A and B are shown apart, each in its own frame.
Chain A
Amino acid sequence: MANHGGWAGKVLRIDLSTRRISTEDTIEKYKDYLGGTGIGYKVMWDEVPTGTKPFDPANKIVFGVGPLAGTGAPCNGRTAVTTLWPTCWPKPLVASGHMGGHFAAELKYAGFDAIIIEGKADRPVWLRVVDGKAEIKDARHLWGQGIRRTTVDINQQMGPESSVAAIGQSGENLVPMSVVINSYSHSAGGIGGVMGSKNLKAIGVRGTGSVRIAENKEEWEKVVKLHLSLLGSVNQHVVPNSPQPWAEYYSPTRWLGSKGRKWGSAEPNIETGACDPHNLNRIAYRTNNAAFFLGEKAWQYTVRGNGCSSCPIRCHTILKVPSVSSKYGIRAVGQNTCAGLVFGREFFKTFPDGPRGQTAIEACMVGMSLTDDLGIWENYGQMQRDFQQLYYSGAMKNKVGEDEFKGFSWDQYEKGDPTFLFELLPRIANKQGELATALGLGTGYLLERWGISEQDWQQNQKIAYWKMGHPRHHANEDAGQCGVIINTQYNRDSQCHSHVNFTRNGLPIKVQKQLAAEIWGSPDAVDAVAAYSPMNIYKAKMAKWSLLRKELHDSLSLCNWMGPWIASPLKERNYRGENSIESLLYSLATGDKKSRDELDEVAERIFLLHRALTIRDMGTKEMRTEHDTIPDWVFIDPTGKASFTAGTNRMDREDIKLAMDMYYEEMGWDKKSGSPTVAAYQRLRLGEVADGLTNRGLVP
């Protein structure tokens, strides 16, 4: 270990049943899996037997961070939390959630690359980790408290610099749709109930150490500076949202900073300015996710951006909306990003003052106030889409007892009154009544409980449901066949942004195609949105690259909501980014010199281990037909437009079959079953995994 930088060097193992605390050497055991999801999948493969259920003591939770966490590399604050996924339907399988904030860096400074949680405590506990030492502490006084109070309580004990990842009442009550949250708004979905099942209320970490950079420090600084210079706004949108003096292009991206636009609730107000990309001290002014998702009005309520350690993007916008204190009795200040930001709003179909009005903003504030304290997960908006569909189709009324149904203020709901959220959300966290209990199960188990066929959901484009209890996440609507392939691969929504961060980056299609030719071998890898061309091998290469980079980021602690960085806002680079930035950073930080291809190969090993775990626990090698499935709505256009015409996202069944063939071939897997071959495992030094699966008859 002595020669390696990057890694802290130790993995912490906590057995809550026996209260045994131990450590193991990261390099010896996990170096070939980097960190993050890599360590997570490895632990799940080695230690969690097939047939284990998410809430069994035998299930484990791995909080994994990577060798770049806690360094100066941009956007390095992500912690991957891997476990058996309680909302994966019809059978729980391995998956991971990802939280930003400061937990990852703090864990490294405390001397650890991961925490493996196993067993079950006999009473509520929290875990205190400080500078190489861990202690299991009594949490009985915290049980029943929300996330905010728990966080403050532990922060008061450990000091304000510590990072606290806690669950709310939802997780305590074993609601599958629960999160763990650190730093108030940085959540990992699906994990809350699993922590609750182990009686683990929170983990507080504090470290005063540092992360060593193994190689030449000047080189490191240079690469970090290069990386910073390539950043766009959140989601690596490299073109501003409106014409700016310095910019050649403008597009409706999330790069909202502009002359005249102000953070209206900062005291005094702050103008974002034109945000010339060469000024690295103004990167944080580019993004305002509240204004992007809630509309123009959100500018007046914006205080500033907040975010993860070492990330200048600050995508968690802090809002101050004074009216919500008097109207709803909640704090005037809230912060979150993307789906968490709009959690409350998305339950409603209409608002009295329109979709971008004051009431919609207030619904967001109420939503954040409740869910980020109770610790409820929204499953990328699927909970709210399910809710609307079930209510407006009349199914909800039929399934919920009459008395219970009458107990809700449906007239308020239909009018778009945010007070309705006070009736609904606490009941979900507390499993009160049939409706709330069913919603808390996640889509797959809810449909099963209410006798609704999954196929009904898979035919309705508006519900955006994909498979296995989870929604689409940047599929054909964003990247045609490449997006479809990506959405078939995981046991929850895919959470992959590698492809969409490119296709939505704002550059004209001609420039995107020039970059695509350099990266994936042909301009034909990408199409203009809603004008898709038939499948070709370059789209399969793009899909493979996207998946591997996602897994790489999740294992290094880089943010896949930002990366990869293959495009940039820099005209002088012809908008090129740097396809090797990850391997440059990794090699310099750790001293383990790896080329881009070599590091991508490690990512492929990690991804393959996820595939192997899925195959083992599903007990079938017929992945193509039983796992990598595609909902019917992908092949339907509401107006009947044919595939491959401009103006539709409709895919063609035969073409998608070809897409899957090409993808499996690119991966070196068996086309018929969609399962990796023995040779594919061996190529990535997973021979033992191949042996294990061969013994079970699970390789083609």
Chain B
Amino acid sequence: MEQREEIRLTIAKIIREKSETGQLMQFEELLTELAGQGLLNPEGADQRSHLEGILRQVVSENEDIKELSSKNQIPHYYSSRSLSEIYAGILVRKEENSLIAEIVRENSAIYPRPVPLNIFREPPFDLTQEEILDYLEKMGKQGEYQDIAQTTTSIGTVFLYSNRHLDATYASILAEWLDVGQANNP
């Protein structure tokens, strides 16, 4: 087997294994891992462009291997055998300020429904209560998030929605239905 082919197979394997753990593979991580295994030559600065070339080939040869870039253009890789596009999309946006707003907009548009605030405390978001409140405060001050609104159900659960897709009454009826109504109508 040619060395280049061996590297491609190894890269696909590493990405798939990482995806099976529910995580994305970052370009830098891959670089370190392959260098550690002595699989990357040439040395130094050329390593990057060398790896970029190989990765392009890996992605084109393997239907399941996908590339995804974060807002700051850092490439991430995953296998769609274990990670869905949506899930990978959440992971890649995890560090971004806009994540909560984008998730809320998506949910308001496609299901349609408001989203309970506490979903952001669970995987894959894994935000703390403080972080969530912090995001909300920041969003409240920034013009680009003015469509994100809140509604509270009769048992005190806070839901977020985008008023681009749901009006206030509709959002509150849906939140009440999801939080209280469905459980009262088993």
Answer yes or no: A339 CB below 8 A from chain B CBs: yes
Q: Please state if B87 and A243 are interface contacts (CB–CB under 8 Å).
A: yes
Which residues on the A side are within 8 Å of B131 (C-beta)?
none
A residues near B169, Cβ cutoff 8 Å: 639, 641, 646-647
In angstroms, Cα B183 to Cα A292, docked, is 7
Instruction: List the A side residues contacting B116 at CB < 8 Å.
Output: 252
Name the contact of A245 in the complex, choosing from B87, B178, B185 (C-beta under 8 A): B87
- B-chain residues with CB within 8 Å of residue A478 when the two chains form the complex: 185
A657 at the interface (CB under 8 A from B): no
A528 touches B112 (CB 8 A): yes
| Chain A residues in 8 Å Cβ range of B182 | 252, 504
Cβ of B164 to closest chain A Cβ, rounded Å: 14
A356 nearest in chain B by CB position: B155
A65: min CB distance to chain B, Å: 24
Is the Cβ of B123 less than 8 Å from the Cβ of A647? Answer: no
B149-185 contacts to A (CB < 8 Å): 155-156, 166-167, 169-170, 172-174, 177-179, 181-185
Is the pair B82, A245 in contact by a Cβ cutoff of 8 Å? Answer: yes
- Asked whether any CB of chain B lies closer than 8 Å to the CB of A529, the reply is yes
* B69 contacts chain A at the CB level, 8 A cutoff: no
A245: B residues at CB distance < 8 A? 19, 22, 82-84, 87, 124
Interface flags, B96-123, vs A, CB<8A=1, else 0:
0000000000000011110010010011
Are B183 and A293 in contact, CB atoms less than 8 angstroms apart? yes
Give Cα distance in the complex from A639 to B116, angstroms: 24
Of all chain B residues, which has the CB nearest A249? Answer: B86
Instruction: Identify which of B19, B83, B122, B178 contacts A260 (C-beta below 8 A).
Output: B122
Please name all residues of chain B whose beta carbon is closer than 8 Å to the beta carbon of A251 when the two chains form the complex. Answer: 111, 113
Closest to B125 in A: A243
Q: Are A508 and B110 in touch, CB under 8 angstroms? A: yes
Contact for B186 among A246, A293, A641, A647, CB less than 8 A: A293
Within the complex, the shortest CB–CB distance from B97 to chain A, in Å, comes to 19
Q: In the docked arrangement, what's the CA distance between A509 and B109, Å?
A: 10
Total interface residues on B, CB under 8 Å, equals 37
Q: Are B112 and A509 in contact (CB under 8 A)?
A: yes
- Interface 1/0s, chain A 242-279, versus B by CB < 8 A? 11111111011000001110000000000000100000
Q: Which residues of A contact B28 (CB under 8 A)?
A: none
Q: How far is the CB of B3 from chain A (nearest CB, A)?
A: 32
Q: A477 near B: Cβ within 8 Å?
A: yes
Question: Which residue of chain B has the shortest Cβ distance to A478 in the bound complex?
Answer: B185
| Residue pair B22, A259 in contact (C-beta under 8 Å) | yes
- Chain B residues contacting A504 (CB-CB under 8 Å) are 182
B85 touches A (CB below 8 Å): yes
Complex contacts, A259 vs chain B, CB 8 Å: 22, 123
Least CB separation from B155: chain A residue? A355
CA distance A249 to B177 in the complex (A): 19
Q: Please, which residues of chain B bring their CB within 8 A of the CB of A339?
A: 186
Smallest CB separation, A134 vs chain B (Å): 36
Q: Which of chain A's residues has its CB closest to B109's CB?
A: A508
Question: Are A646 and B22 within 8 A (Cβ)?
Answer: no
The answer to whether residues A244 and B111 also contact, given A477-B181, A647-B169 and a CB cut-off of 8 A, is no
- Taking the closest CB of chain B, its distance from the CB of A427, in whole angstroms, is 26
Tell me whether A508 and B111 are in contact in the complex, defined as CB-CB below 8 angstroms, given that A252-B178, A530-B170 are known contacts: yes
What is the bound-complex CA distance between A529 and B170, given in angstroms?
10
- Interchain CA distance A289-B122 in the complex, whole Å: 19
User: Which residue of A is nearest B157, CB measured?
Assistant: A356
Chain B residue numbers with a CB within 8 Å of A474 are 185
Evaluate contact between B174 and A243: CB separation under 8 angstroms: no
How far is A647 from B178 in the complex, measured between Cα atoms in Å?
13
A49 within 8 A of B: no
A508 CB contacts on chain B under 8 angstroms = 110-111
- A47 and B162 CA atoms in complex are apart in Å by 60
Q: How many angstroms between the C-alpha atoms of A614 and B109 in the bound complex?
A: 45
CB-CB nearest in chain B for A274? B22
- Residue in contact with B84 in the complex, picked from A248, A292, A381, A529, CB distance below 8 Å: A248
The answer, yes or no, to whether A390 is at the interface (CB within 8 Å) is: no
Shortest C-beta distance, A466 to chain B (Å), equals 12
B34 at the interface (CB under 8 A from A): no
**Taking the complex as formed, is B90 at the interface, i.e. its CB lies under 8 A from any CB of chain A?**
yes
Return A672 CB to nearest CB of chain B, in Å: 33
Task: Give complex CA distance A252, B179 in Å.
Answer: 8
Interface residues of A in 353-378 (CB under 8 A from B): 354-356
B123 touches A243 (CB 8 A): yes
Query: Are A243 and B110 in touch, CB under 8 angstroms?
Result: no
Docked CA distance A174–B173 (Å) = 42
Q: Is the CB of A646 within 8 A of B185?
A: no
Min C-beta distance of B184 to chain A, whole Å: 7
Q: Would you call A510 and B112 a contact (CB within 8 A)?
A: no
Assess the B122–A246 pair: CB atoms within 8 A: no
Q: Is the CB of A529 within 8 A of B177?
A: yes
Query: In whole Å, how far is B119's beta carbon from the nearest beta carbon of chain A?
Result: 6
For B103, the closest partner residue in chain A by CB is A243
A247 touching B184, Cβ below 8 Å: no
Q: A355 to B83: give the CA distance in the assembly, Å.
A: 36
Asked whether A258 lies within 8 Å of B123 as measured between CB atoms, the reply is yes
**A280 on interface, CB distance cutoff 8 Å:** no
Q: Which residues of B contact A489 (CB under 8 A)?
A: none
Q: A246-B82, A248-B84, A252-B178 are in contact. Are A530 and B173 (CB under 8 A)?
A: yes
In the complex, chain A residues whose CB is within 8 Å of the CB of B83: 245-246
Interface residue? A395 (CB, 8 A): no
Task: Tell me if A679 counts as interface (CB < 8 A to partner B).
Answer: no
Residue A648 CB within 8 A of the other chain: yes
Contacts of B90 in A (CB 8 A): 243
A152 close to B (CB within 8 Å): no
A428-444 Cβ-contact flags toward B at 8 Å (1 or 0)? 00000000000000000
The answer to whether B86 touches A243 (Cβ under 8 A) is yes
A→B interface (CB under 8 Å): 242-249, 251-252, 258-260, 274, 292-293, 338-339, 342, 354-356, 381, 464, 474, 477-478, 504, 508-510, 528-531, 571, 639, 641, 646-649
19 contacts between A and B (CB under 8 A): A243-B87, A243-B122, A245-B87, A246-B87, A247-B86, A248-B86, A251-B111, A252-B179, A260-B123, A338-B186, A354-B155, A354-B156, A509-B111, A528-B111, A528-B112, A531-B170, A646-B169, A647-B167, A647-B170
Q: A464-B185, A529-B174, A571-B84 are in contact. List 13 more A-B contacts (CB 8 A).
A: A243-B125, A244-B87, A245-B84, A246-B87, A249-B86, A252-B116, A293-B183, A528-B111, A529-B177, A646-B169, A647-B169, A647-B173, A648-B173
Please list the residues of chain B having a beta carbon within 8 angstroms of any beta carbon in chain A. Answer: 19, 22, 82-87, 90, 110-113, 116, 119, 122-125, 155-156, 166-167, 169-170, 172-174, 177-179, 181-186
Q: Which 3 A-B pairs have the closest CB atoms?
A: A647-B170, A338-B186, A647-B169
